[in-house]
Amino acid sequence: TEVTAINRLGADLSIKYGTADQLIVNDFFSMTSYSVEQFKFTDLTWAQSDIVTLVTATAQTDTASLNILTGAASVDALYGLDGNDTITALAGNDFLFGGLGDDSLDGGADNDWLFGDAGDDNLIGGLGDDTLYGGDGSDFLGGGSGNDSMVGGTGDDTYTVDSAGDVIVELAGDANGLSDYVQSTISYSIDQSSTQGIEDLTLSGTAHINGTGNALNNYLVGNSGNNVLDGLSGADRMFGNAGNDTYIVNSVDDVIYEFAGAANGTADEVKSSVSYSIAQQFTQGVENLTLTGAGNINGTGNAASNALTGNSGANALTGGGGNDTYRGGLGADVLTSASTTSNDTYIWGRGEGADTLTDAGGTDQLSVLAGITADQLWLRHVGNNLELSVIGTADKFTINNWYTAAANQVESVKLSDGKALMSSKVENLVNAMAGFTPPAAGQTTLPANYQTALNPVVAANWV
């Protein structure tokens, strides 16, 4: 509000606001029937009892210069007017008005109203459930303990949040600032109807808490704990700091800052609904990448040892120089290891579709998930490739150029029951199965004559 004074003139109530405006309610204090039950402003509402409290308070009003005002341990109404004022209330439900200038207002204990008005003001609610209004200028609003309501007004404002009951009002629009900022010690989202004008969010402290942006281009900063940062729509910048952080990427324009080093966490993850690469200048400290949704999107790792996971679409997952773990998931996925020295693990299972692998070297393993036994895997030599399929299904795993060079092979195929097939023994099964037609769709066990011929070979080579 722009209220500058509330006074009792005999039996009348006087409310001054703006630069020269005044509202007089005749006989407000003479009879209840003459009172106004509610005064509603654009940003807050006063009941009749609030007006009486403010008028009967011990009021101090400064001059048009720098002043220091201190209230009593009761209900106070303190007005700063002009100048850079310092106004401190003690106990009681107090009304503090900064006026012009860059003012510092401290509500102290109980439930207070603080109004900065013009200038770059510093508003501290203190104890209790406080209402803070910054007004014009770039203001700092710290509600303190309790469930506080904070309205920044115009300018680039900073808010502190420490309670789930804190409410911020910062609506969208250039007049309300281009760099409004929330510091929070609890999990917080600026994707609320009242915070659509907030651009930046920083998590403070050491707790494992989360931060969520809004439709604007946000800058989200984590604390030293394990944080989840989600910018939602917009071109967002996210910086996790220390801890094992998770970044939610929704736009190709999102930028993540996670630098390499144990101090920044050892299990940081990007979850992306768009094609994304963590092999960028500012993401060398991200270890894991998971694609989300159902789109046919791609993921690229970096020099660290990554876990690369696809979604339900057809994905291309490409590793970097570390010892990576790949899982394509549902859909026809293409897995590529770009390193000739990395020791990679490829995960594949029943119902995960037809995946293709291009390996380049190292000591690698195909890890087959539970639900597939040794006698349910069919091995074929197809062109230069090795094909492993689950009998009776459309699930298959093709290793490109297996027969071209040993570097293109995986060194072992391992089942969930611990049995393993070494690369040196693959051809024994390929040759044994070459004399048979793969079982038809729906045939999930080998026919009797197949078992007679193949079971001894399977048992001898899967160990």
Per-residue confidence (pLDDT) for residue 69, from 0 to 100: 65
**Do 111 and 128 contact (CB within 8 A), yes or no?**
yes
Per-residue confidence (pLDDT) for residue 174, from 0 to 100: 67
Domain span holding position 457? 343-463
Per-residue confidence (pLDDT) for residue 16, from 0 to 100: 79
Per-residue confidence (pLDDT) for residue 62, from 0 to 100: 47
Per-residue confidence (pLDDT) for residue 50, from 0 to 100: 76
Asked if the structure places residue 203 within a domain, the reply is: no
Asked if the structure places residue 452 within a domain, the reply is: yes
Per-residue confidence (pLDDT) for residue 73, from 0 to 100: 61
Per-residue confidence (pLDDT) for residue 61, from 0 to 100: 47
Q: Domain tally for the chain?
A: 1
Asked if the structure places residue 270 within a domain, the reply is: no
Instruction: List the chain pLDDT tens, one digit each, 463 residues.
Output: 567 667 777 778 888 776 678 889 988 877 777 788 888 877 667 888 877 766 654 344 444 545 566 655 655 678 887 889 999 988 888 899 998 999 999 999 899 999 999 999 999 999 999 999 999 999 999 999 999 999 999 999 999 999 999 999 998 876 777 899 999 999 999 999 999 999 999 999 999 999 999 999 999 999 999 999 999 999 999 999 999 999 999 999 999 999 888 788 899 999 999 999 999 989 999 999 999 999 999 999 999 999 999 999 999 999 998 999 999 999 999 999 989 999 999 999 999 999 999 999 999 999 999 999 999 999 999 999 999 999 999 999 999 999 999 999 999 999 999 999 999 999 999 999 999 999 999 999 999 999 999 999 999 999 9
Asked if the structure places residue 445 within a domain, the reply is: yes
Q: What is the pLDDT of residues 155-209, one digit of tens each?
A: 999 999 999 999 999 988 767 778 999 999 999 999 999 999 999 999 999 999 9
Per-residue confidence (pLDDT) for residue 337, from 0 to 100: 97
Per-residue confidence (pLDDT) for residue 54, from 0 to 100: 66
Asked if the structure places residue 318 within a domain, the reply is: no
Asked if the structure places residue 360 within a domain, the reply is: yes
Asked if the structure places residue 442 within a domain, the reply is: yes
Distances 356 to 55, 306, 382, 427, 432 between C-alpha atoms, Å = 79, 19, 13, 19, 23
Over the chain, what HEC string results? CCEEEEEEECCEEEEEECCCEEEEECCCCCCHHHCCCEEECCCCEEEHHHHHHHHHCEEEECCCCCCEEECCCCCEEEECCCCCCEEECCCCCCEEECCCCCCEEECCCCCCEEECCCCCCEEECCCCCCEEECCCCCCEEECCCCCCEEECCCCCCEEEECCCCCEEECCCCHHHCCCCEEEECCCEECCCCCCCCCCEEEECCCCCCCEECCCCCCEEECCCCCCEEECCCCCCEEECCCCCCEEEECCCCCEEECCCCHHHCCCCEEEECCCEECCCCCCCCCCEEEECCCCCCEEECCCCCCEEECCCCCCEEECCCCCCEEECCCCCCEEECCCCCCCCEEEECCCCCEEEEECCCCCCEEEECCCCCHHHEEEEEECCEEEEEECCCCCEEEECCCCCCHHHCCCEEECCCCCEEEHHHHHHHHHHHCCCCCCCCCCCCCCHHHHHHHHHHHHHHCC
Q: Model's pTM, two decimal places? A: 0.85
Asked if the structure places residue 176 within a domain, the reply is: no
